[in-house]
Amino acid sequence: MSGGNYVKRRDFLKLAGLTAGAGLLAACAQTAAPAPAATQAPKPAATTAPAPAATAKPAATQAPAAQQGTKTAVFWFNQPAQLDAFKLIVDRFHNAQNQWRLDVVLVPTQDLQTKLATAIAGGEPPDAARLHAGASLVSLFGDKGHLAPLEDWEPNLKNTDWVAGIKDAVTRNGKILAMPVNSGCSGFIWNQDLYKASGLDPEKPPKTLDELFQFGLKIVKPAAQIWGHYTLTAPISQTGGDYFVPVLWGYGGKEVSDDGKKVLYNSPEAVAAFQWYGDLVQKNKCMPQQQVNETQMLNAFLTGKVGSIFCYPAIVANIAKANFKSASTTIPAGPAGSKANLGFATIGVFAKAKNKEGGWAFAKFIGLDPDNMAFWNASFGQLPPRLSARDTTTWKEYQAKTPLTAGFLEGQKNAQLCYYGPGVAEIQAEVGKGVEAAVFAQKTAKQAADDTAAAAQVILDRELKKAQGS
């Protein structure tokens, strides 16, 4: 591959499934978008002042010797399906400066947390890594001192124009521990052709969660494998966090009490949310009774036989290529309204890495230059976490070519972060198990809520006790 040394270590080859662009990964930023068009490689960005918007063309071949760089930093990247897009970003970095080169190691999302913990324990963390679950992974590694405070390099970092809520999520004890580089939020995409074929107005999506069932009943034809709506039902943390939470909020529920000490998954509002999932499959039969992860949901939608999905903007590029017409909007409202779940990813620089200055150089290059950030997000089909990045030529061109981003940009206006405190990944996995139990009618909604709350409370109590040093 051109423009850099892409390290494919033996330990990771089995995990990566290394055919760039082959297959789709779960999580909120997994599907590659077409790389934006470009014309010229940029100059290195200043650390504080935003660089002027300009389109840039990464090198198509190996960079000239003068740009090879004299030092090497190891970067862990978690998305094999996006490797081609990421290669262009790395080429852009290499052509913009001549001090640092990146060795890129592929560590898939599902293995990243475990592999990072192992590398840190062995004293060999990467210099930097893309942390896909921005808030929760910053909590996991930052609270234990494994992430370097970025103000060590840029004292004015706190003044960056990030989307509301993101700065707080990456800040610990007044220090910013990771560089936000892409964002997204939950949204709703519907198949307009299938709506029309089912007698529905293709320009009018459901406004409420109840109306979503009404629309789904007009679409569904189980014998023909045509379904009204898909969402995640697999017993995994992504189900319990990214996908369950907007429904929970729609019914007025919360994950954890304001003091952070009590889980609330057995509240009446939470019971109603679990009931909604059970009704989706058992009562209304809008979706088959099966475990569904994000990849399976997308693949089902791309067949043209699914009326709608809850999703995140990373998949819009794939849907735009489908042989049917789709549109996007905000999540249908529950009794308490509609609120999107805000997601984001960061570049974390590891405190005890051998060449962490190189990790910072790459984090700065993406995070502190609005046009580089726009290029990153257009390449991956995400939303920039900096407002200024949306004013760049690169982003405006991408948005004009990708109208499916509209619903997510609208949803981001009032999006909020779901719980990301102690024990978050384990707690969300328990919620995913509760969703599965409701979908398969293994438990009533009340039983699923009670069992979820009991298991989650044990996790939260344990993690709070650890944090107190007991």
**What's the pLDDT score for residue 54?**
33
Is the pLDDT at 244 greater than 80? The verdict is yes
Q: What is the mean pLDDT of the segment spanning 23-46?
A: 38
CA–CA gap between residue 102 and residue 95 (Å, rounded): 12
- 408 domain-assigned: no
Q: How do residues 403-423 score in pLDDT, each as one tens digit?
A: 999 999 999 888 999 998 889
Based on the fold, state whether residues 107 and 17 are members of the same structural domain. Answer: yes
Based on the fold, state whether residues 152 and 254 are members of the same structural domain. Answer: no
Is the pLDDT at 34 greater than 70? The verdict is no
382 φψ region: left (φ > 0), alpha (ψ -120 to 50), beta (else): beta
Based on the fold, state whether residues 168 and 28 are members of the same structural domain. Answer: yes
Based on the fold, state whether residues 28 and 156 are members of the same structural domain. Answer: yes
Is the pLDDT at 273 greater than 50? The verdict is yes
- 409 domain-assigned: no
CA–CA gap between residue 214 and residue 314 (Å, rounded): 28
Based on the fold, state whether residues 310 and 201 are members of the same structural domain. Answer: yes
Both tokens of 381, joined, read 């089909």
Based on the fold, state whether residues 164 and 116 are members of the same structural domain. Answer: yes
Count of structural domains, the chain? 2
Q: How many CB atoms lie within 10 A of CB 116?
A: 22
Based on the fold, state whether residues 217 and 284 are members of the same structural domain. Answer: yes
Among 353, 370, 401, identify where a domain stops.
Answer: 401
Both tokens of 422, joined, read 């102690």
Based on the fold, state whether residues 329 and 446 are members of the same structural domain. Answer: yes
CA–CA gap between residue 84 and residue 448 (Å, rounded): 42
* Domain, as residue range, for 60: 5-184+343-401
Based on the fold, state whether residues 175 and 198 are members of the same structural domain. Answer: no
Extended beta strands in 228-352, E state:
308-311, 326-329, 342-349
**What's the pLDDT score for residue 16?**
33
CATH of the domain at 81: 3.40.190.10
- 394 domain-assigned: yes
The DSSP H or E segment spanning 302 is helix 294-302
CA–CA gap between residue 61 and residue 464 (Å, rounded): 51
- Residue 317: which of 36, 14, 19 has the closest Cα? 36
Q: How do residues 178-225 score in pLDDT, each as one tens digit?
A: 999 999 999 999 999 999 999 999 999 999 999 999 999 999 999 999
Based on the fold, state whether residues 127 and 20 are members of the same structural domain. Answer: yes
Name the residue with higher pLDDT: 26 or 441. 441
| Integer angstrom CA distances of residue 445 from 114, 315, 436, 438, 466 | 32, 30, 11, 6, 32
CA–CA gap between residue 136 and residue 127 (Å, rounded): 20
